[in-house]
Amino acid sequence: KSYRVAILGATGAVGTELIQLLESRSFPVAELKLLASARSAGSQLLFKGENITVEAVDEQSFNQVDIVLASAGGETSKRWAAKAVEAGAVFIDNSSAFRMDAQVPLIVPEVNPEAAASHQGIIANPNCTTILMAVAIWPLYQVQPIRRIVVSTYQSASGAGARAMEEMITQAQAILQGKTPPTEIFPYPLAFNLFPHNSPLDESGYCQEELKMVNETRKIFGVEELRISATCVRVPVLRAHSEAINLEFDQPFDVAKAREVLSQAPGVELREDWKANYFPMPIDATGRDPVLVGRIRQDISHRCGLELWLSGDQVRKGAALNAVQIAELLVANNLLRSSLVASH
């Protein structure tokens, strides 16, 4: 059995990765539709050795489609999700448009796959930094409840899309030539610099990206009162995000036990060479599926505290891979809407 898949935002950083993942993971695709804005309609992208022409999304785009993988921004998702659902598809959305909607499951397959069963047509893919943290700390949470999380992020340019990655390269070239770096997508130069995440600020002083980590982690873990504080920072890395995470438990968490748990955790790869002072780096996480975790150590300031460090590919596990895993989950559990009606 195979399925008719549409990618909304097919020409973007996440969209192109979605195409590759459907191919490399042998997702059962009967037909692939590539959708974007009118700007890139007519361009061609390769899938399984065949050129597929990108179409501008319109009212007819979702007819005869089983699964939509959307990564074209919140506004585009808000505009098209209901149309896709009306046409019988399941809409797996990478944007933040529906994540906190009580009717919409927010899923990291390694953490809460069971949430998929209650979907009503839309499923949300969490924020990238939230996904990476959730994969790394959920296995520890299973052993001992976490009282409080303090996290600092080191987020790459890829989180802001393909054009943002190009802008950072152009900025670097300009600076090396003694010129003023262009800032069209980013508010400030990112090359040779860093800045606190530029998403809108709340009256609490936190930015939207930080509040996503708080609210989305609570929803994914199903723990409304989970205490989390985040500081999100954009750093001049092209792709793959890193995070420094401090966890506080009720009881001390043995470091050797944490290492053992994480060495067996799904979606996690333990990367520690204490003698060589080698730990996860964005260049090692880039293009890879697992979240690389290391530098697990006792917090010297708190007997019940544990410190860890991670790097994970923002475009993959932070976005496209997680979305494809959700699609795989739907297929494996017979949760597609069209599969309830007919097989093809």
Q: Is 119 a catalytic residue?
A: no
Question: Quick one: 91 or 279, whose CB is closer to ligand A2P?
Answer: 91
**Does 25 carry a binding-site annotation?**
no
DSSP codes of every residue in 251-281? S---HHHHHHHHHTSTTEEE--BTTTTB---
Residue, CB closest to ligand A2P: 12
CB 157 within 8 A of CB 188: no
Q: Which residues of 97-114 are buried (b: 16+ CB within 10 A; e: fewer)?
A: bbbeeeebbbbbbbbbbe
- Dist CA 259 CA 311 (whole Å): 16
**Does 271 carry a binding-site annotation?**
no
Among 37, 64, 152, 170, binds ligand A2P (CB under 6 A): 37
131 CB-contact burial (10 Å; exposed 0-12 / middle 13-18 / buried 19+): buried
Considering the rule CB under 6 A, would residue 78 count as an interface residue with ligand A2P?
Answer: no
CB 14 within 8 A of CB 92: no
Among 76, 153, 171, 215, binds ligand A2P (CB under 6 A): 76
Q: CB 111 → ligand A2P: shortest distance, Å?
A: 25
How many alpha carbons fall within 13 Å on the CB side of residue 295?
A: 17
Q: CB 89 → ligand A2P: shortest distance, Å?
A: 16
Q: Is 302 a catalytic residue?
A: no
250 CB-contact burial (10 Å; exposed 0-12 / middle 13-18 / buried 19+): exposed
Question: Quick one: 94 or 242, whose CB is closer to ligand A2P?
Answer: 94
CB 120 within 8 A of CB 223: no
Considering the rule CB under 6 A, would residue 72 count as an interface residue with ligand A2P?
Answer: yes
CB 52 within 8 A of CB 45: yes
Question: Quick one: 20 or 298, whose CB is closer to ligand A2P?
Answer: 20
Q: CB 327 → ligand A2P: shortest distance, Å?
A: 18
**Does 40 carry a binding-site annotation?**
yes
Considering the rule CB under 6 A, would residue 9 count as an interface residue with ligand A2P?
Answer: yes
φ, ψ of residue 72 to 5 degrees: the values are -130, 25
**Does 13 carry a binding-site annotation?**
yes
CB 224 within 8 A of CB 218: yes
Q: Which x/- pattern over 259-298 shows residues binding ligand A2P (rule: CB under 6 A)?
A: ----------------------------------------
- Rounded alpha-carbon distances, angstroms, from residue 29 to 91, 194, 208, 278: 16, 41, 36, 40
**Does 266 carry a binding-site annotation?**
no
**Does 297 carry a binding-site annotation?**
no
Considering the rule CB under 6 A, would residue 13 count as an interface residue with ligand A2P?
Answer: yes
Chain residues 136-195 in contact with ligand A2P, contact rule CB under 6 A:
161-163
**Does 155 carry a binding-site annotation?**
yes
Q: Which x/- pattern over 80-99 shows residues binding ligand A2P (rule: CB under 6 A)?
A: --------------------
Residue 335 in tokens: 């949760």
Residue 23 in tokens: 């191919």
Active site residues per annotation: 128, 241
Residue positions forming the annotated binding site: 11-14, 39-40, 99, 155, 158-159, 182, 234, 314
Residue positions forming the annotated binding site for substrate: 155, 234
Q: Residues in the site for ligand A2P, rule: CB under 6 A?
A: 9-13, 15, 36-37, 39-40, 57, 72-73, 76, 161-163
